Structure 1
Amino acid sequence: MAAHTDRHGVRGILAPAAALDRWLQVVLVALVATCAVRYVDRHGLGATGVLVLLGAAVLALAYATRTLLPGRTWWPTAWVAGMVVIWTALTVAAPSFAWCAVPVAFAVLRVLPFAWATATVVLMTLVVTGSWWRIADAPDPTLVAGPVGIALVTVIAYRTLERESQARQRLLDDLTDAQADLAEEQHRSGALAERTRLSREIHDSVGQGLSSINLLLQAAEQAWDSNPATAREHVNTAAATARDGLDEVRGVVRDLAPAELAGDTSGAALLDALRRAAPGLDAEVRVHGAPVALRPEIAAALVRTARGALANVAEHADATRVAVTLTYHDDEVLLDVRDDGRGFQPGPPSGPLRGRGLRGIRDRAEQLGGRADVESAVGEGTTVSVRFPLEVAR
């Protein structure tokens, strides 16, 4: 099991407890001072007393030296080993210093890995037991059971804390990884959605425009010799459609509504755009209700829906009549594209729509809070309907 490691080379089970350093030093200084005063009071200030006081001062000041060499990974181990050696010498000379074993043992747990910390605490416990046993008037089993029990409980308790801390850290790491995976998946989904949107917009704007230009030029070629005036009219219409297509490309790139709808406040531009939605196709365009200015993205969706539906009529329906109806209700705007062509058998309402254009119409409507419906039967024509909540442009 991996131990904690900080930037100073500390690897012990108490490594995360940064504030513990200060409290250990305060407790250690208080205990060292108390034990030193007690020793001088009982034994006087002889040669041994001077050495004891000097050792006590070194032990009290030693804690502050650990951060002097933060870049050396060996320094914390050497520091705690020196602390243990000085404490052992003091305890052998004056058993009252055995009380200092508590902060010293915490320092050991703070620095050393668990196995080495356990071995060191066991040796310190033997030193405490031997020192107290040496000055006892009679054999006292509590001098053995007490230090051993305290050391055992301390080590086991902080071993448990270490395992809980590591388990919590693993959970945090798993959560971080899961969040990173989720963010990556959202990025992929967003990229896919954007590609789908661009594909749909290009299909219903640039693609349908090019298809119309192709049909117009084919018609002009057929009438070039027999009816030059009609041929020129088709060519002029194709040129106008090409110009509109260029504006559409720019609008798609900038994620804007079709250029002809910019600044439309009366709905007239929308009606003109619907009339030009399928050049070369004789479609009747009707408006019911009082026209109002719509949000640009809604107006753009209506135009692109009409273009996609009329392109399907021109390519697949073999229709003789086509009607485009724009209806303004109090709470919604409705676009219907009806033809009397060959029709087809659509899937269930919740299923996929036939063809890329019809799928694009449905997806666009749903993204803008609307709904698309297709009604058709073989030999009975087709009706494509799109409705959006009516929100007047501000």
Structure 2
Amino acid sequence: MSPWQQQPGHQLTRHRVLRWNLAGWILFGLLPPAIAVLDASPARQCWMLGLLALIALCHTVVLTRAHNRVLSPRTYLAVLALVLGATSYLLDGGAAFYVVSLPQFWLFTRTPADAIRLSGAAAALTVFGGTLGQGWSPQFLTGNSVFTVIAYAAGVGLGLGVHRFVGQSNERQERLTAELALAQEELAAAYQRQGAAEERERLAREIHDTLAQGFASIVVLAEAARAATVSDPARCAEQLTSIEQTARENLAEARVLVGSAPVSGVAAGSLATTLRRTLDRFVQDTGLTITAELPDIDLDQRTRVALLRCTQESLANVRKHSGASSVGVVLSEYEGGVELEITDDGCGFVVKEAQGFGLDGMSRRLAELDGELAVTSSLGDGTRVLASLPTHSQD
């Protein structure tokens, strides 16, 4: 198969080449013989113009899709070779017409071998036609015939060179296309892995901030309730109630995670109410003193959820690590954003040495909303957690 026909990417270039070749063939191939025969006899004029009209019609047909049913390119080239021989006879030499028609033998064949054979046959017919017209004169042998043979040899060399160049271009294109397809597959796989990793991280963060914290609270409450079973039955009953509430909340959060419940249980515009309820539960479970400034601020859903999770994580850290006696929570709004500050008077810690998923999870959650988390603490001086988020339009 011709390299011009192997790659769809070359079809547009091939059509352009065919159009330019057609224009040149009409201008320098068909018109000169038609003009040259005007001074000939009427019979010769009739034959020449008829042959030119025939080959022009065949060329038009072969350029259309109808040639598959009417005229194949190979048949057209055979007719062209006969016409070249006939016009060479009528004009006593047709080397120029042959040279102008020579590219078609490479454009309309499927293999170089076909092009060489058909163009060679056309060259032989051109020489033979001219010989019949002029006879075996030295002038003819040094003119028309030699020029035709030289053109054939040059056409073969040039055609093979172009065929090889186009073939190599096709191979490079196929190789690059295969490499591109492989790169796209690898990129798609990388995106899939990245998406899976991000989803695992999101689920891990949600589980840590909800279910894990709830289970930790249940464990602490259960231990306290067991200790107060005999000494303080009323306190034990309160703690059992807290265990039940926490378990119900964990169940609701589990339904959210598996997609069988709304994304969040935080009602629109109710962050302050939700935070107060969370703080009341914390006081009930731990007995710590909490001071809170929680104005009603209308925030979008993702901002409300992020600030609630930061509060829950901070209170869980206070309960597990700080040994604090009091906690302060301040929610404030400023132009273009909102801040949540949580402080405690506990033992503090070295922030750079902190390990665990909690602080990192809070930071990542805020970063997804273009927010920031600032943690300030030192041993013996308590801890300050400041979450800052830009405000967005209400859902």
Report the TM range for the smaller structure's normalisation: 0.7 to 0.9
CA distance in 2, matches of 1:172, 1:151: 32
Match of 1:90 among 82, 86, 92: 86
CA distance in 1, matches of 2:216, 2:174: 60
3-state SS of the aligned residue for 1:335? strand
2:391 pairs with 1:387: no
3-state SS of the aligned residue for 2:389? strand
Query: So what's the TM-score if we normalise by structure 2?
Result: 0.73
- Per the TM alignment, residue 98 of structure 1 is displaced from its structure 2 partner at its CA by 4.3
Whether the 8 Å CA contact 1:277–1:307 is kept in 2: the answer is no
Match of 1:35 among 33, 36, 41: 33
Q: How many residues align?
A: 381
The answer for the alignment partner of 2:323 in structure 1 is: 319
Any gaps of 5 or more consecutive residues in structure 2?
none
Deviations 1:238-269 (A, max 9, x none): 2222232333334445596631x212257333
CA distance in 2, matches of 1:44, 1:105: 29
Match of 2:334 among 330, 335, 359: 330
The answer for the alignment partner of 1:373 in structure 2 is: 374
Compared CA separation, residues 181 and 283, structure 1 to 2 (3 A): farther
Compared CA separation, residues 107 and 177, structure 1 to 2 (3 A): farther
- Per the TM alignment, residue 390 of structure 1 is displaced from its structure 2 partner at its CA by 4.4
Query: After superposition, where does 1:53-92 map in structure 2 within 5 Å?
Result: 56=52, 58-63=54-59, 64-65=61-62, 67-68=65-66, 70=68, 78-79=74-75, 81-92=77-88
CA distance in 1, matches of 2:393, 2:282: 23
2:264 pairs with 1:258: yes
- Per the TM alignment, residue 378 of structure 1 is displaced from its structure 2 partner at its CA by 4.5
CA distance in 2, matches of 1:116, 1:279: 95
Compared CA separation, residues 60 and 69, structure 1 to 2 (3 A): closer
Query: After superposition, where does 1:71-220 map in structure 2 within 5 Å?
Result: 78-79=74-75, 81-94=77-90, 97-101=94-98, 104-112=101-109, 115-116=112-113, 119=116, 123=120, 126-127=123-124, 130=127, 134=131, 135=134, 138=139, 139-140=142-143, 143=147, 147=151, 151=155, 155=159, 162=166, 166=170, 178=183, 181-220=186-225
Query: So what's the TM-score if we normalise by structure 1?
Result: 0.73
Any gaps of 5 or more consecutive residues in structure 1?
none
Q: Which has the higher helix share?
A: 2
- What is the identity percentage for the equivalent residue pairs of Structure 1 and Structure 2? 22
Question: Which amino acid is 2:86 matched to?
Answer: L
3-state SS of the aligned residue for 2:239? helix
Compared CA separation, residues 99 and 284, structure 1 to 2 (3 A): farther
2:352 pairs with 1:347: yes
3-state SS of the aligned residue for 1:280? helix
- Per the TM alignment, residue 328 of structure 1 is displaced from its structure 2 partner at its CA by 0.6
What is the CA RMSD across the aligned residues, in angstroms?
4.7
Whether the 8 Å CA contact 1:264–1:270 is kept in 2: the answer is no
Match of 1:229 among 222, 229, 234: 234
CA distance in 1, matches of 2:76, 2:88: 18
Compared CA separation, residues 65 and 393, structure 1 to 2 (3 A): closer
- Per the TM alignment, residue 110 of structure 1 is displaced from its structure 2 partner at its CA by 2.2
CA distance in 2, matches of 1:392, 1:359: 27
Deviations 1:201-234 (A, max 9, x none): 1210122122212322232233233333222211
